[in-house]
Amino acid sequence: MIPEPIKKFVNLIAQLPSIGPRQATRLAFYLVGLGKAQINELASAIDALKNLRTCKDCFFVYTSGDALCYVCSDARRHKDVIMIVEKETDLISIEKTKKFNGRYFVLGDLKKNGALDTIQKLRLNSLKIQIKNGGGTAKEIILAINPTTIGDLNAELITRELNDCAQKTTRLGRGLPTGGEIEFADEETLSAALERRS
Amino acid sequence: MIPEPIKKFVNLIAQLPSIGPRQATRLAFYLVGLGKAQINELASAIDALKNLRTCKDCFFVYTSGDALCYVCSDARRHKDVIMIVEKETDLISIEKTKKFNGRYFVLGDLKKNGALDTIQKLRLNSLKIQIKNGGGTAKEIILAINPTTIGDLNAELITRELNDCAQKTTRLGRGLPTGGEIEFADEETLSAALERRS
């Protein structure tokens, strides 16, 4: 009933995070409707993702041909101030502020069970070795982990893992978000804003 | 900051229906993480969508090589009972019931402004010509349009367009959905269920 190419597309696409089989099926028919030229364009845009590599120092992506990602290969960035992020998209959000002049370290999505997975442990080990080779201790490690219960738990775990690796370990400040309204802020946020008033 | 292949991917993907730029960015990094083999598989699954054609009779898709879609090319299906659907996915849902032995006609997503667009008018014209060439009038035209206010409005428009094309024009029956609870049914549904009791 459903043509084979659509079935195959739906099976693959529905495996991607946050896309269900229904959305995948609608997408398939939508793409068929767009026609050859646009299908080609999309297929080659996906194919081009193969050209990306993961930076061996920070695990952010970069275009193959370069030796490291654009942050790690930038000599003006402080190598001894290291911001640990969960996701590449978190890194991008921080970079957009243009207020951070250190380097990053991408840890990967943190699990909800409050334990680091094997890849995350390997990555943290790699970070420890980098810090050791770079002079013994980093000046600062910033844990840019979401300010949630799970985030707090994971931040503690990571702090313990990186014990003795940095002169200080910090987290991003908590308080009222710009544009937020005091009336609607939750208790935790208000308490943090009070404690950290400036 | 963001590598070029990711930017390009995000730009294209974010144009697809119901995918925003944030989801597209996350998808991009997810795909890079999957690695070459799976990126290849996805790119070629999308490329294979080019092999699909739109049936000249009913506008459903079919694999090129065939002359018509699998419904229109099936001699056992009644050609003079025509079900008009909005979307290919509606057709698939109806086919899964295995209770319909006529043919289909895919009209395309109905607009919310209560007017048919140019493509829909062209398609309806093509249907009129098909009906004329097939013997003058169809036995029945079933409007499988969603039972919503907009759907009702559009069904009226289509009925007017197809005036004199069929011995009767019907819509799908309304009433309580199987598994539904009377307590939670809305008034319109309950009224319809009462009127159409059997």
A42 vs B87: CB contact, 8 Å cut-off?
Answer: no
Q: Taking CB atoms and an 8 Å cutoff, what residues of chain B touch A89?
A: 22, 25-26, 29
Average pLDDT, chain A: 92
List the strands of the sheet with A138-144, edge to edge: A103-106, A81-85, A138-144, A166-171
pLDDT at A66 over 80: no
What local confidence, expressed as pLDDT, does residue B36 receive? 93
Question: Could you tell me the pTM of the whole model?
Answer: 0.80
pLDDT in tens, B134-182: 888 999 999 999 998 899 999 999 999 998 999 999 999 989 898 888 8
B48 vs A12: CB contact, 8 Å cut-off?
Answer: no
What local confidence, expressed as pLDDT, does residue A93 receive? 92
Taking residues A65-70, what's their average pLDDT?
A: 84
- The shortest C-alpha distance from B40 to chain A (Å) reads 6
What local confidence, expressed as pLDDT, does residue B17 receive? 87
pLDDT at B16 over 80: yes
What local confidence, expressed as pLDDT, does residue A17 receive? 87
For residue A95, give the nearest of B1, B61, B96 by CB distance.
Answer: B1
State the Cα–Cα distance between residues B83 and B73, nearest whole angstrom: 16
Helices A21-34 and A4-13, packing angle to 10 deg: 130
User: Could you tell me whether strands B81-85 and B61-63 are parallel, antiparallel, or unpaired per DSSP bridges?
Assistant: unpaired
State the Cα–Cα distance between residues B14 and A25, nearest whole angstrom: 17
Q: What residue ranges define each of the domains in chain A, with the CATH number in brackets?
A: 4-50 (1.10.8.420), 76-171 (3.40.1360.10)
Q: Which of residues 42-71 of A touch B (CB under 8 A)?
A: 42-52, 54, 61-63, 70
Taking residues A110-137, what's their average pLDDT?
A: 92
Taking residues B15-29, what's their average pLDDT?
A: 91
pLDDT in tens, A81-93: 999 999 999 999 9
User: What's the helix, strand, coil split of chain A in %, to 5?
Assistant: 45, 15, 40
B184 CB near a chain A CB, below 8 Å? no
For residue A46, give the nearest of B22, B31, B51 by CB distance.
Answer: B31
State the Cα–Cα distance between residues B166 and B128, nearest whole angstrom: 10
Residues of chain A above pLDDT 90, percent? 72
Interface probe with B: pick from A18, A52, A91, most Cβ of B within 10 Å: A52
**DSSP string for residues in A15-50:** TSTT--HHHHHHHHHHHHHH-HHHHHHHHHHHHGGG
pLDDT in tens, A144-180: 999 988 999 999 999 999 989 999 999 999 898 988 8
pLDDT in tens, B49-106: 999 999 999 999 998 777 789 999 999 999 999 999 999 999 999 999 999 999 999 9
Taking residues A8-21, what's their average pLDDT?
A: 92
Interface probe with A: pick from B27, B32, B46, B89, most Cβ of A within 10 Å: B46
> What 3-state DSSP class applies to A106?
strand
What local confidence, expressed as pLDDT, does residue B145 receive? 93
Q: CB within 8 A of B39, min separation 6: which ones?
A: A46, A47, A49, A50, B31, B32
For residue A48, give the nearest of B5, B42, B63 by CB distance.
Answer: B5
> What 3-state DSSP class applies to B108?
coil
Taking residues B26-50, what's their average pLDDT?
A: 94
A96: its two tokens: 């957009």
* B191 contacts B162 by C-beta, under 8 angstroms: no
**Confidence band, pLDDT 50/70/90 cuts, at residue A67:** confident
CA distances from A97 to A170, A194, B2, B6 (A): 18, 24, 14, 20
Identify the CA nearest to B6 among candidates B24, B19, B33.
Answer: B24
